[in-house]
Amino acid sequence: MNYQPINIQEKFNKFSSHWSPQIIAQVNDYQIKIARIQGDFVWHSHAETDEMFFVIDGEMDIHFRDGKITLREGDLYVVPKGVEHKPFAAKECQIMLIEPAGTLNTGDAVNEKTATSGVWI
């Protein structure tokens, strides 16, 4: 058994790419991922699952077709399954995501920003 804590900042120090979630832990069928984000993402939705955003450092917006929400350090928001949304961060923002294993970051919109699934750091 490995009795070592996971230091989130040490994990962030291991990568610099934006919009590329990295898996840091798994709880049952859910993966805990961290990501650096900056700029615009793509409009997408997740038909089968909610998506949880937790801001560790910085500030981000989540745009919806009928509005937006701003999240700052320490804020958490759950986008309900099936709701189309587009994350945005004017400056680099560090976030944590919790979602079922195998969930694509771009949901139903597979494109150049679709991250390789299952990358552990």
Q: Where are the beta strands (DSSP E) in the chain?
A: 22-27, 30-40, 51-57, 59-64, 67-72, 76-79, 85-100
What global pTM score does this model have?
0.90
The pLDDT tens digits of the residues spanning 44-93 come to 998 999 999 999 999 999 999 999 999 999 999 999 999 999 999 999 99
SS3 (DSSP) at 12: helix
pLDDT (0 to 100) of residue 121: 86
pLDDT of 2 > 90? The answer is no
27-31, 95-99, 112-116: the lowest-pLDDT one: 112-116
Q: Which CATH number fits domain 36-121: 2.60.120.10, 3.90.1150.10, 3.30.360.10, 3.90.1580.10?
A: 2.60.120.10
